[in-house]
Structure 1
Amino acid sequence: MTSSHPVGAARVVAAVVTFNRIALLRELVDRLREVPGLAEILVVDNASTDGTGDWLAAQAGVGGTPVVGRTLADNLGGAGGFDTGLRWAVDRDADLVWLMDDDGLPDVDTLSRLLEFEGQLDFWGPAVVDKDAPERLVFPIRLPNSARVLTSTTELAAAAPDGLLRDVVIPFNGVLVTRELVERIGSVRAELFIWGDDHEYRLRAERAGARIGTVVDTVVRHPSVGELGTPTLGGTYNHSDSDLKHYCMARNNLLNLAEYRSKLHALAFVAKTVWFYTFTKPSLARLRLSFSAFAAAVRGDFTGHRRFLA
């Protein structure tokens, strides 16, 4: 379906994914209602049990930017939620979809600053900063074709003196996606559930020649996630104490490496996992879980994570 909106009058729809974080969701929706130029706010509720569904139903009569909720029958994870939200927004005639989790908080002018690049980019977003220490990037950025990693807004600004860091974006934290790109490459891979679905979408967009970027003086404020990797072999490994997160990370990372890098990169990841749980953080149980995830990836089986859901 091709949009009928004229150039310069894009219909921008926010698509928010939430799960059992009603306090954060209410704060985010209140903020989004203050954002000028937003046509409507779509909220995908991943079968929350904290009253989110009832609260969303009550938003129908609230004035201002319309809020429309959809509560899923089952928890489909971030991947399934963003797949639902992205398709839903396009079905509702969005020219641009503004994707975000419930724990991010854009500034009121974030959207207007991002829209300054409309027509120049296909998949772009703000810097994601620590809400309690806004000079710090929540998700460090590795510069394209470089070993250099940026951890602060000062470093980010210095790396992009014209205000745009090209070929880098942190999905799905306040990113804009064009309708045309969605029609060209499809939606998010729902079967990935969590971990790596956002990275896979960026890689797919990149492979399709999408124009990607981060607008460095524009922010979404996000709670700190701590250190994202455990030191090992002169680098880091994405260890999590959660069996669910580790299983999805191992399965999905192997798939992404094999698809977008090479089988050699995928095998190197398997070797790194074996080293990590043999020497860095020894755990026979975690080695077994890792190989269960790797086998599922090879088979194309996306059901194994369900045993870890409450």
Structure 2
Amino acid sequence: MESKVSAVIVTYNRLSLLKEVINSLQNQQTSLSHIIVVDNASKQDTQDYLESLGNQIDYLRLPENIGGAGGFNRGVRHFMEHTDDDYVWLMDDDTVPYPDTLTALLNFAQQQQNFGFLASDVRWTDGHRAKMNRPAPMNRLQVIPENQVEPVQLQNATFVSLLLKRSVVKQIGLPITEFFIWGDDIEYTERAGRIAPGYFVPSAKVVHKMTTNVGSSILNDVPARIPRYFYSYRNKMYYANRRDVYRKNRARARMLYEYLQLYFSRVPQRKERLAVFKSGIKAGQSFNPVVEYANDLEDK
């Protein structure tokens, strides 16, 4: 029997990119059963466009912006409670799949049925790997080359083209809304990876249309983005504490190294950056959100 898939897109005020993403999903070689668009209270033009699509999509407009984490929480919940589809395929509103991306993911899913998640090969607009979405192999000293052909087991992955089985979502629950931004995907895929191995599928390519191909770093990011690093470090503390002893200590050592780099640097707004860093770490020590679970439509 042919597998049924829901795609979930979370969007916020990026209408031109969103149109391209939806178009790419509507033109997949393997047809989707549902395209679920979660709108984090975007401006009127986005609402008008999405409403104009009618029953081509499942449109979830939220009354306020609850961040990417909250958007994915609502989207995955809708998949579980309002569809009977076998898989959910998660992506941001600047993620443009190739026409055969879903086909490649499902082909691997049929070959390797015991998996926690499947992650795409995420490229930037110039064809090179997107730095924010580099695959994280089990051996972090290993670098997966850009010409990789065979699948590789991963520690975690991002919500830039991620496929999960319904049965896994039922076991692990939903993404954590309280994360707001940053790390919700790392935490969620590590949760899934405790159920079954997660894999990088190099044949399933997408383009991540970020403005620039750079990673995120509190050391050199622009001043306007500094406050959001509070969520980065608070959330890192949360999911690092749920790892085994070796990986937990490695994450803490990495954060200490980042702090020392920042402390001894001469970057603009250094004091502000340090204050955000420390407040995030402090908040992370007591941050303990509840993991929510959706009601499964198939159980009704």
13, 16, 25: which one pairs with 1:20? 13
> Residue 217 of structure 1: CA displacement?
1.8
> Residue 127 of structure 1: CA displacement?
0.4
Q: Relative to 1, partners in 2 of residues 1:271 and 1:165: Cα closer, same or farther, differing over 3 Å?
A: closer
The code of the aligned residue for 1:100 comes to M
TM-score where L is the length of structure 1: 0.81
The code of the aligned residue for 2:17 comes to L
The code of the aligned residue for 2:86 comes to D
Structure 2 Cα separation of the partners of residues 266 and 124 of structure 1: 23
The code of the aligned residue for 2:107 comes to E
* Alignment of 1:248 onto 2:242: no
> Residue 267 of structure 1: CA displacement?
4.2
| Stretches of structure 2 lacking an aligned partner (at least 5 in a row) | 290-300
CA offsets 1:109-151 (integer angstroms, 9 cap, x no match): 11111111234234113200112x224344323432241223x
CA offsets 1:206-257 (integer angstroms, 9 cap, x no match): 122x231121122011125433166xxxxxx775331233111111112221
2:298 maps to what in 1?
none
2:152 maps to what in 1?
165
CA offsets 1:70-96 (integer angstroms, 9 cap, x no match): 111111111111111111111122210
84, 107, 120: which one pairs with 2:74? 84
Across the two proteins, how many residue pairs are aligned to each other?
276
Q: Relative to 1, partners in 2 of residues 1:22 and 1:250: Cα closer, same or farther, differing over 3 Å?
A: same
Structure 1 Cα separation of the partners of residues 256 and 128 of structure 2: 36
- Checking the alignment, whether the CA contact within 8 Å between 1:22 and 1:50 is kept in structure 2 is no
1:294 maps to what in 2?
281
Structure 2 Cα separation of the partners of residues 117 and 141 of structure 1: 17
1:123 maps to what in 2?
117
> Residue 106 of structure 1: CA displacement?
0.4
Which residues in structure 2 correspond to 1:31-50 (within 5 Å)?
Answer: 31-35=24-28, 36-49=30-43
* Alignment of 1:218 onto 2:199: no
The code of the aligned residue for 1:254 comes to M
80, 97, 101: which one pairs with 1:110? 101
1:272 maps to what in 2?
257
CA offsets 1:12-32 (integer angstroms, 9 cap, x no match): 111110011011111111111
135, 138, 147: which one pairs with 1:141? 135
The code of the aligned residue for 2:80 comes to V
Structure with the higher fraction of residues in strand conformation: 1
2:65 maps to what in 1?
75
Structure 2 Cα separation of the partners of residues 21 and 177 of structure 1: 25
- Flag the structure with more relative contact order, 1 or 2, with Cα contacts below 8 A and sequence separation at least 6: 2
The code of the aligned residue for 1:87 comes to R
- Checking the alignment, whether the CA contact within 8 Å between 1:15 and 1:44 is kept in structure 2 is yes
